[in-house]
Amino acid sequence: MLTSNWLALINIILMLDIIVAFICLSVGIFIPVKSSDYFVESAEKIGKYIGLPNFVLGAILVGIGTSLPELSSSLVAAINKHTEIIVGNVIGSNIFNILGVIGIPGIIGTITVPNLSWYFFKSLCFRWYESWLWDSAARYY
């Protein structure tokens, strides 16, 4: 049976563990936020020096920022020779980016799609399906 001194010590250790976890969480949130501020300020200065418009600079930064997590996880998977993770990462991120770009604005507001865009979309889907069929057929013959 544990004495009350041991129970108090265990409670103190658990409390310290929670405090350390909270500190790590706080630092883990603070460092990326602050470093992103420095990154944006530095990129803005470089963009002004080069003469890039803010729209182009923003598009480049958003493109880099959204691609780096996929790139880093794909590099780690390639180093560890897990190629299936790379393929799943590429396909999954592209599907999410397409559906997120279409879906999130659709949730926020209405989107008017002209008929021409719908015909283009159906044609694109058909062409993709057709190329997939030809690719599948070519593998077997």
Domain residue ranges in the chain:
16-113, 114-141
Q: What is the pLDDT along the chain (141 residues), one digit of tens a residue?
A: 556 777 777 777 778 888 888 998 999 989 988 888 888 888 888 888 888 888 888 888 877 877 788 888 889 888 998 888 888 887 887 788 778 777 777 778 776 666 666 666 666 666 666 666 655 555 555
Q: What is the pTM of this model?
A: 0.44
Tokens of 2: 């544990």
Task: State the helix-helix crossing angle for 4-50 and 54-79, rounded to 10 degrees.
Answer: 130
- Residue 27's SS3 state is helix
